[in-house]
């Protein structure tokens, strides 16, 4: 009798243990915030405190190496705020092949407010996510995102073109002396637009220089303007890639209430269909912990690019002034490919830099 009673007590205790601590397969799964090939992020809870909301996460790094995860641009009820560190970005190293518990404390803008919606972005391996949103009243009801979600970008990838056939490429020719050739580091040609303020060099092209000092480069004859500032082409460098011209802009400064300063560099190329397109938007910000492609429109309210005006002299050497061009980004910026000759009077000059630190500039001549 006592033996049967002992078995009954044991079974009762075991059953009670299962009820209090169900096997993992029977437990409610934590909602999945982000699922990607190399990373998953699960939400374990969201707790409101007097001046903050504490988000508990589990981050699984599936890589064989330690990787950084960034938590960025926190918002409560749609308004920018910061983490407990007083910064709008937090980073954490995730060990390889492991799951790591993470606690994020997001400060309220007003301790009296009742958070209804909390959001933040994540970045991993150079990919920036769209905002993940957590309903404070129903944290279980989250939408799972990936690191490949599409969102409006600061610049449209499609580039419009002027009607009519493209111009014939321009062959730029120049020469330097044999003595200069022997100590040459590199040479480049500048395509310039004459403006009322002076000469605007907007496109540089590396010169090929042979052993005899004969220099040449091929220019597509195309410039790129923004729809909001059609008079000034974007400045940058034209190169050749896979037998086709590629234009890379200088850095364009971006700002917004969420990200005080970021830079954007565009790569524009002719596609196989013969059209021009933005094939890369290199968006970089220390506030966001790195560089990403593409640039989210949500994080860019204004773009600024610089027009450097050179001396209008036979051999321009000095910059006479810099004009900032500010463009509001209430919608994605559209670009247009235009025939350079249609912009106005175009001049070209060549300059050379030598291994001894000296340089020389050759006279201007018209396109």
First to last CA, the chain: 110
Tell me how far apart the alpha carbons of residues 213 and 367 are, in angstroms, rounded to a whole number: 22
Answer whether 250's CB lies under 8 Å from 80's CB: no
Q: Looking at the predicted structure, is the pLDDT value of residue 367 above 50?
A: yes
Torsion of CA 101, 135, 290, 96, to 10 degrees: 20
Name the token pair of 246: 């590629």
φ, ψ of residue 212 to 5 degrees: the values are: -90, 0
pLDDT in tens, 227-259: 999 889 999 999 998 888 999 999 999 999 999
Tell me how far apart the alpha carbons of residues 40 and 98 are, in angstroms, rounded to a whole number: 11
Lowest-confidence segment of 243-247, 313-317, 349-353 by average pLDDT: 313-317
Tell me how far apart the alpha carbons of residues 69 and 72 are, in angstroms, rounded to a whole number: 10
Looking at residue 216, what is its pLDDT?
Answer: 96
Answer whether 289's CB lies under 8 Å from 278's CB: no
Q: State the average pLDDT for the chain.
A: 89
Identify the CA nearest to 232 among candidates 146, 101, 364, 343.
343
Looking at residue 24, what is its pLDDT?
Answer: 38
Q: Looking at the predicted structure, is the pLDDT value of residue 295 above 90?
A: yes
Average pLDDT value for residue range 293-316: 91
pLDDT in tens, 207-223: 999 999 999 999 999 99
Looking at residue 191, what is its pLDDT?
Answer: 97
φ, ψ of residue 123 to 5 degrees: the values are: -130, 140
Q: Which residues contact 204 (CB under 8 A, 6 or more apart)?
A: 188, 189, 190, 191, 236, 237, 238
pLDDT band at 4 (very low <50, low <70, confident <90, very high): very low
pLDDT in tens, 61-116: 999 999 999 999 999 999 999 999 999 999 999 999 999 999 999 999 998 888 89
Q: Looking at the predicted structure, is the pLDDT value of residue 1 above 80?
A: no
Q: Which residues contact 11 (CB under 8 A, 6 or more apart)?
A: none
Q: Looking at the predicted structure, is the pLDDT value of residue 14 above 50?
A: no
Answer whether 129's CB lies under 8 Å from 122's CB: yes
Q: Looking at the predicted structure, is the pLDDT value of residue 277 above 70?
A: yes
Domains of the chain are 26-135 (2.60.40.2550), 155-366 (no CATH)
- % of the chain exceeding 70 in pLDDT: 92
Q: How far is CA 9 from the centre of its chain?
A: 64
Beta bridge pairs of residue 60: 40, 99
Q: Looking at the predicted structure, is the pLDDT value of residue 29 above 80?
A: no
Answer whether 176's CB lies under 8 Å from 183's CB: no
7 compared with 327, residue with greater pLDDT: 327
Distances, alpha carbon 266 to alpha carbons 55, 131, 156, 228, 237, in Å: 36, 24, 11, 17, 11
Identify the CA nearest to 309 among candidates 149, 194, 176.
194
Average pLDDT value for residue range 25-47: 84
Looking at residue 320, what is its pLDDT?
Answer: 78
pLDDT in tens, 152-200: 999 999 999 876 677 889 999 999 999 999 999 999 999 999 998 889 9
Looking at residue 163, what is its pLDDT?
Answer: 66
Q: Looking at the predicted structure, is the pLDDT value of residue 27 above 60?
A: no
């Amino acid at each position: 009798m006592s033996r049967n009673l002992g078995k009954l007590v044991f079974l009762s205790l075991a059953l009670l243990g299962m009820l209090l601590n169900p096997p993992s397969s029977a437990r409610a799964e934590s909602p999945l915030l982000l699922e990607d090939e190399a990373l998953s992020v699960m939400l374990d809870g969201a707790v409101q405190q007097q001046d903050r909301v504490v988000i508990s996460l589990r981050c699984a790094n599936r890589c064989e190496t330690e990787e950084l995860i960034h938590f960025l641009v926190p918002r409560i009820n749609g308004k920018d705020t910061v983490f407990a560190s007083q910064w709008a970005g937090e980073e954490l190293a995730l060990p390889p092949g492991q799951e790591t518990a993470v606690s994020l404390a997001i400060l309220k803008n007003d301790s009296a407010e009742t958070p209804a919606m909390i959001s933040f972005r994540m970045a991993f391996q150079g990919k920036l996510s769209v905002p993940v949103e957590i309903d404070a009243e129903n944290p279980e009801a989250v939408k799972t995102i990936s690191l490949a979600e599409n969102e409006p970008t600061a610049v449209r990838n499609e580039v419009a073109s002027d009607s009519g056939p493209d111009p014939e490429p321009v062959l730029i020719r120049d020469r330097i002396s044999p003595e200069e050739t022997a100590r040459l580091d590199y040479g480049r040609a500048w395509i310039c637009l004459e403006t009322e303020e002076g000469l605007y060099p907007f496109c540089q092209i590396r010169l090929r220089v042979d052993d005899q000092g004969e220099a040449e480069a091929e220019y597509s004859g195309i410039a790129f303007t923004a729809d909001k500032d059609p008079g000034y082409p974007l400045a940058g460098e034209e190169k050749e890639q896979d037998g086709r011209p590629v234009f890379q802009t200088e850095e364009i400064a971006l700002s917004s209430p969420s990200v005080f300063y970021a830079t954007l560099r565009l790569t524009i190329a002719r596609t196989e269909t013969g059209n021009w397109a933005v094939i890369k938007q290199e968006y970089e910000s220390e506030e966001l912990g790195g560089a990403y492609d593409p640039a989210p429109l949500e994080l860019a309210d204004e773009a600024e690019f610089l027009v450097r005006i050179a001396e209008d002299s036979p051999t321009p050497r000095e910059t006479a002034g810099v004009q900032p061009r500010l463009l509001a980004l209430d919608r994605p910026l559209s670009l247009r490919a235009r025939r350079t000759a249609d912009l106005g009077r175009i001049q070209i000059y060549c300059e050379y830099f030598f291994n001894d630190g000296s340089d020389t500039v050759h006279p201007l001549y018209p396109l």
